[in-house]
Chain A
Amino acid sequence: MNWTFFHKLGSPKWFYHLSGKWLPWLGTLAALSMIAGLVWGLLFAPPDYLQGNSYRIIFLHVPTAFLASAVYLMMAGAAVVTLVWKVKLADVALQCMAPIGSSFCLLALITGAIWGKPTWGTWWVWDARLTSMLILLFLYFGVIALRGAIRSATTAAKACAVLTLVGVVNIPIIKFSVEWWNTLHQGATLTLTEKPAMAVQMLWPLLISILGFYLFFGAVLVLRMRIEILNRERRTRWVQKLVADEMGV
């Protein structure tokens, strides 16, 4: 197998230049689909026959909850690449994904709590889905705090990768919590194998909103990674030349 592409992709300089071309497109697509999905869901979709209008929180809750788990899995992928191949860019990605993932996890918990009040009559219960999501939030905070606590960059990268991998055990617990235990939280709204139980007028805005949030994640991740690359490579000639040329010194 030809590994040149893989190694090239792992080069911060190469990534910086290429991602500069992606970013405007990614950002525009993200903004358009988020606005389309959320405005459609908020203003145009019909109310739910059982929950009325409170269900409109779904257009924020489901995309952020999906991403909270998905981002953690991507961090675990980056952790493996960091530990096995020691690709610098993978650790940059891991570092930059953590705050974004934690913000989505927090938003999923808040939107869930507000939705719970009119639906279940309570903001919070210590049931399996809610508790495992709270643990996910603490795992995110743990990874962020661990990096801040270790001075050596290589040790920090290794420690964060290991902690991320240990925490992966929580992801299947979140996924199957609604099946394994008796919980207040409803089962999956969308599955890959079954036809969605949702009406089409609600399903489309939800899918567009999910797409929008994924694109938004991609855009802000690229944005953060580019800055972190400049930060880490500040002593290299290419960064100094770039800053001197483009930003004028």
Chain B
Amino acid sequence: MYFQDVSSLLHMDGHGLYVWPTYGIGLLIIAYNVLAPLRHRKQVISQIKRQIQDVRRRGVE
């Protein structure tokens, strides 16, 4: 590692204030890109399931 210890890594000669929040926001946007489709997938699957069950019910009646 380039930095001697954790505190110099966090401080980054005064630039840690800019670098760390940037990486935090980056992580949030990466997480959004993974989680948003997975949530949408849940919705779509449950809608299709309901659709299938409706068709079956109508078939029984």
Contact = CB atoms under 8 A, between A and B. Distances in A.
Interface in B1-50: 1-3, 9, 12-16, 18-19, 21-23, 25-26, 29-30, 32-34, 36-38, 40-41, 44-45, 47-49
A171 to B, nearest CB: 21
B12 A53 contact: yes
Interface residues of A, number: 42
Contacts of A74: none
A24 interface: no
A86 interface: no
A8 interface: no
Interface in A203-222: 216, 220
Chain A contact surface mostly: helix
Question: What is the interface of chain B mostly: helix, strand, loop, or mixed?
Answer: helix
A52 interface: yes
Interface string A9-48: 0000000000000000000000000100010001111110
Contacts of A220: 33-34, 37
Nearest to A51: B15
A201 B36 CA distance: 35
A240 B56 CA distance: 12
Contacts of B25: 107, 110-111
By Cβ-Cβ distance, the 7 closest A-B pairs, closest first, are A53-B12, A53-B15, A54-B15, A227-B41, A60-B26, A220-B33, A224-B37
